[in-house]
Structure 1
């Protein structure tokens, strides 16, 4: 058994080295990856969610604008907030949708950087483990999707959380959908382990910025609204451990909401293809800074002292810009 564990860890280490990632450690559900930045004390990346539709619903147009913005910012990597392939994830690691909805869409030179991705609920409707497979990286070395993991990017630590198993409705009311729960049962043990490991990692992080990424929103005024399970179980951990941002997809919109009990900002970037026009909940708008119901994406730029996040529409126009200083915690 010990030999088997060693072989598995060695295999992951080799794969990480082959694809330019420095593997640091494995504990429970969280893996750590080092991502060296381009230098100068600046980190920048793009954030995209809910996108994989073979270029349809303006996916290709959003990708084109991402390429332009990514070039201007010289981004270090791209973050995907999940629902990577519609409607029902990938059928397997050989599914042509991986090429049709990802490889052949995000072709700009500036986007040929590492992509860090989490699974969304639609991804769980297919072969969820296919998206985690190292085989996909032999097709396109940019791709890295794990259930939950950490990216250490010098001035920032990014904590990626597998949020779908937290949502009880997917177990209690599947709406004729079949979910791939391999690897996440018993679900209470699985989600508790994630939270425990996340709490430890956040507490021990010495990074200037702590950013948490999941598919489901903690706070949203879009179609799905707040995710109660995350409000109850995840949010207190973020508040207690000085998280700066929580970034998500799930709602097909762009939005920015401020927490009323901590400096945390909730940023939704789930408009990578199909958007839901006019789908705005009137309830619980407390802290709402920005909402847009069309397609688009987001950029984040960090220095030792400052953060800037920008939302763009399908034409590349700036819709909303937010900046903060680590010392002042003030927004503009």
Structure 2
């Protein structure tokens, strides 16, 4: 019988873990208890990690100010956490330079719930998922897909990059770290199956899905057709209220013409002002801002308020929804 050396055993173990990660039957779950007044408050930011450049530091300062004003519970990151090509490894100084040393306000010393973006996959994607980063900064929690139970709301984080066909075309000008997500067809099918099951079983007052790529957008990248085809039917069938994303470096809100879903883009954490827009005459477009900023969310069991801020912390747009009546109440 052939014997195995240590390197072979390690490789076999890694392959086994990799395989199991593609066939797991349930999304990881985390609990975030909310305050006694049954209010949930958090900020949403995306596409930010540039060592403070491109106004990242200025946006971070205003996040700290608004975070203190609202007394937020946590922060959601919609991906593209480190530019241009993710992290090089667990000890890449970019983690401290673009995260720890930028979001220094006391109000932002809360848990950050994070997904990967396509730029993160261009580096060492496993590094961002590593528990080693939590030892450097315990705010950091990044997984491919997971569920956050915040009592009155459940947030379902989805790894959207593996759905986008363009990233797999050959030749491709970029290389991507697909360790842990291959074979892609099985991986994406399992993500959708696990998400559908979690949404169906959820009893939360509000259901929020978070991904990096937009389902609907009038920004630089526009709609992500793979998500329109494969993810959107699941959201519509399971009474999802909000879909939050980054990817386009802008702030926007678009309604859905077949359900109450609102598509909310918060991908303006640093470099923005692209100027190439698609479909500004879209009748379901409620708000668009081609510049830097972030978003806040305040929820009770019956109401949600979304607020978009620019790089100066000025309120650009407010919107509320009542759960009982599904009435939309824009606030000018």
Cα deviation 1:149-206 (Å, max 9, x = unaligned): 0000010000000000000000015632110000000101000000001001101100
Q: Which moved more, 1:282-291 or 1:127-136?
A: 282-291
Query: Per-residue deviation at 1:286?
Result: 3.5
TM-score (norm 1): 0.91
Question: Residue 151 and residue 27 in structure 1: after superposition, are their counterparts in 2 closer, same or farther (change >3 A)?
Answer: farther
Aligned twin of 1:36:
33
My pick for the range that moved more, 271-280 or 204-213, is 271-280
Which of residues 166, 169, 184 is equivalent to 1:187?
Answer: 184
Q: CA RMSD in A?
A: 1.4
Unaligned runs of 5+ in 2: 1-12, 18-22
> Residues 116 and 90 of structure 1: is their aligned pair in 2 closer, same or farther, counting only changes over 3 Å?
same
1:246 maps to 2:243: yes
Matching of residues 136-175 of structure 1 within 5 Å: 136-173=133-170, 175=172
CA deviations on 1:258-285 (whole Å, 9 max, x unpaired) are 0000000000000000003422113772
Rounded Cα–Cα distance in structure 2 between residues aligned with 1:30 and 1:272: 28
Are 2:264 and 1:267 aligned?
yes
Matched, 1:121 2:118: yes
Runs of 4+ that moved beyond 6 A:
none
**Structure-2 separation of matches of 1:231 and 1:223:** 17
Structure 2-normalised TM-score?
A: 0.91
Task: Confirm or deny: 8 A CA contact 1:279 1:293 kept in the other structure.
Answer: no
Correspondence for 1:298 among 295, 299, 303: 295
2:253 partner SS: strand
Instruction: Name the CA distance, whole Å, in 2 between partners of 1:203 and 1:51.
Output: 33
Counterparts of 1:38 and 1:327, CA distance in 2: 22
Which of 49, 52, 63 is matched with 1:52 structurally? Answer: 49
Distance of 2:124 and 2:26 partners within structure 1: 19
**What is the correspondence of 1:70-109 to structure 2 with a 5 Å cutoff?**
70-109=67-106
CA-CA distance at 1:331 after TM superposition: 1.6
How many pairs align? 309
Larger Rg: 2
Name the residue aligned to 2:8.
none
Q: Which residue of 2 aligns with 1:22?
A: none
